[in-house]
Amino acid sequence: MKNNASQIKVLLFAELSEKYGWDEKYLSLDLIEDKKAKSILKYININVAHQSIIVAINKEISSLEATVKDNDEVAFMPIFTGG
């Protein structure tokens, strides 16, 4: 299924990954009507405040309003706490 052109790869990190019990999923983009990152978040049932989520698309920092394309890698991340 990984090679299906209509799929996207969704990643969760750190606390999000632990809380929801997975770190990587492949989804059909056809399931997301407006193709926006925030709608993917809703589809995968991640219920957290939008201001506490950082989005990256294809390893570029993006936003929940961004539109996702086939084969994109979409990452949802909690606030960074490194250093």
Partner 1 sequence: MDKIKYKFKIATDPFNPYREIEKWEINNQMAAMSIFIGRVREINQFGSQLKQLEIHHYSGLTEKLIEKHLSEITKKIESFSALVIHRVGFIDPLEPIVLIAVRADKRGIANQYCSEILEVTKFKVPFWKKEWTDTGSSWVKNNTVLST
Of residues 21 and 33, the one with the C-beta less far from partner 1: 21
Work out whether 54 is an interface residue with partner 1 (CB under 8 A). yes
CA distance 54 to 63: 7
Name the one residue in this structure whose structure tokens are 């989520």.
53
Maximum Cα–Cα distance across the chain: 39
Work out whether 77 is an interface residue with partner 1 (CB under 8 A). yes
CA distance 26 to 63: 20
Give the nearest distance from C-beta 80 to partner 1 in angstroms: 6
Q: Which stretch in 24-32, 34-42, 55-63, 64-72 sits in contact with partner 1 by CB under 8 A?
A: 55-63
